[in-house]
Structure 1
Amino acid sequence: MPSQPQLTGWGLPTVPQNAPMPQSAGPPRKFYTLQRVNGNGGNGKGDGIGGPHKHTLEESDKVKKNSVDRWLIKQEKDKRKEQGGDSSKKSYHKKATGNALATVKSHCKDDSLKLFGSCFCPFVQRAWISLEFKKIPYQYIEVDPYKKPQSLIEINPRGLVPALRHGPTWSTYESTVIMEYLEDLNTGPALLPPDAQTRATCRLWSDHINRHIIPGFYRLLQAQDTNDQVNHATELRNEIGKLVDAADPEGPFFLGRSMGFVDVQMAPWVLRLRRVLGPYRGWPEPEEGTRWATWVDAIEQHPSVKSTTSDDALYLDSYERYAENRPNTSQLANAVNSGRGLP
């Protein structure tokens, strides 16, 4: 783990980071074509002249198919290595730990409502917190979104989590859409307030989180240049500051005494500021006595958040790929690197 600078208040990271070395283009690639030939002639002409090709057409096709299969397997192994499969590197976890693991075990039985998720994913945690908060019966199914199992593709053709199946055929995906759907079920306590104007305000600030805070989090985490890290830390601090200024002055949550929609939208990144940006980029702890510190503590201590949170090591390991900005870490990481919005 890299050494950390001394920080106070909203201090910014000063630890120098090594920028990635440019990679050479490598040798020119060769391309070949395959010709389907019969084995009864030297050139597949069937003229009776013996040649080295002794396969029937069916055998020849089988050999070619096996060659293609081997090539595809090699490509998949190389891709996994790029994503952190190197044994000397930390990679994403495929099984929850701590409180989250206990919650997984208590929701492993078949249910008509199924949440397909990955233990390290913050977008999954949004939907998961909502289910726990509302105490809606559900089944949690852990999937590896990098392998994109067919059960996940059937729900979300893009193979991303979270994904929700409710009933034998109906499904949806995207964390905010899932949260809205769970609200519309009118089961359990509400996360959105009853009046239309305050609901609209909640949606507006949820949009702020998705458009500005989340991309800012990943820009800072993925930045390798020290100056870029300082700039991105300042931008992220300012965007969080806007959200805190819009919150109820007394709190402890965004709208006041009870956790609501905006709190759940923000909660996974509140957790990861301390568990990921702290170790990797020197993100400071909230200043004691501030409105921000009160909010962070309320989110961290809420039972629905605690029950869906793994041990710190899971996040530290799973986000090393982002902190090193490894190639093909995720669609989100690629989008941030190219300056696009969230995928």
Structure 2
Amino acid sequence: MATNQEEVKLLGVVGSPFVCRVHIALKFKGVEYKFLEENLGNKSELLLKYNPVHKKVPVLVHGEKPLAESLVIVEYIDETWNNNPILPSDPYQRALARFWAKFIDDKVVGAAWKSVFSVDEKEREKNVQEALEGLKFLEDEIKGKKKFFGGEEIGLVDIGGVFIAFWIPIIQEIAGLQLFTSEKFPNLYKWSQELMNHSVVKEVLPPREPLFAFFKARYENLTASA
């Protein structure tokens, strides 16, 4: 069994929202770790060894025991280091947090991504609608809450939602979309500003300009070949 004193390594890439989730959880808990930057065009032996199933990042390695999938990793971090809880102690509230974190991945992340980076126009429109529906549910869920989905402090849903707060504004600006705005989703937008101003989140968010340039080039290549 890995003890929480054993070495912690995180394999990832700087611009990934999924890797960012793990950075946030580790920093929030005050865990010391080594970040190993991967090149996904030329995957390291280490990545292939530790995540032979998906060959994707992030991968957390704790005491030589690897774990993949960002939300699974965040829960593991929460259970391994007891300070600054990420999940509520109440079983029902814990289950709800898991539900909404998974909802973000199932209903918002993929749809928002494809609404920009899909070649087919009909496919793009379908995904815009799906992303808007997902954001509407989250808008209703955050309404009347404290600062975050987790209350006064960030929790699993907030960490899962970093894609909405930071990545969606970048990709929608590139594509000229009005997907996530303060007019459409005032409560969710206010939450996103609180999240990005949280000291831990601020520390680990990737620099916006290089990320914007990277996605813009990708978008232009896509539209040029369409």
Same fold (TM over 0.5): yes
Q: SS in structure 2 opposite 1:159? A: coil
The structure that is helix-richer by fraction is: 2
Whole-angstrom CA distance in 2 between matches of 1:277 and 1:197 = 35
Q: Which amino acid aligns with 2:181?
A: E
Whole-angstrom CA distance in 2 between matches of 1:232 and 1:325 = 20
Whole-angstrom CA distance in 1 between matches of 2:194 and 2:168 = 15
Q: Deviations over 1:154-191 (max 9, x none)?
A: 11113210011111x31111111111110111333011
Say which of 276, 282, 289 aligns to 2:177.
282
Asked if the contact 2:29–2:81 (Cα under 8 Å) also holds between the matched residues in 1, the reply is: no
Give the match for residue 3 of structure 2. Answer: none
Say which of 153, 156, 160 aligns to 1:265.
160
Q: SS in structure 2 opposite 1:154? A: helix
Within-5 A mapping of 1:115-194: 115-157=10-52, 158-167=54-63, 169-194=64-89
Asked if the contact 1:165–1:171 (Cα under 8 Å) also holds between the matched residues in 2, the reply is: yes
Question: What TM-score do you get using the length of structure 1 for normalisation?
Answer: 0.58
**1:212, distance to aligned residue in structure 2 (A):** 0.8
Say which of 175, 184, 188 aligns to 1:292.
188
Which aligned segments of 4 or more residues in structure 1 are displaced greater than 6 angstroms?
A: none
Q: SS in structure 2 opposite 1:193? A: coil
Asked if the contact 1:223–1:323 (Cα under 8 Å) also holds between the matched residues in 2, the reply is: no
Query: What are the ranges of 5 or more consecutive residues in structure 2 without an aligned counterpart?
Result: 1-5
Whole-angstrom CA distance in 2 between matches of 1:311 and 1:188 = 28
Say which of 313, 320, 329 aligns to 2:209.
313
Query: What are the ranges of 5 or more consecutive residues in structure 1 without an aligned counterpart?
Result: 1-110, 327-343
Q: Which amino acid aligns with 2:191?
A: W
**1:290, distance to aligned residue in structure 2 (A):** 2.3
Asked if the contact 1:113–1:138 (Cα under 8 Å) also holds between the matched residues in 2, the reply is: yes
Whole-angstrom CA distance in 1 between matches of 2:22 and 2:32 = 13
**1:226, distance to aligned residue in structure 2 (A):** 5.2
Whole-angstrom CA distance in 1 between matches of 2:192 and 2:183 = 11
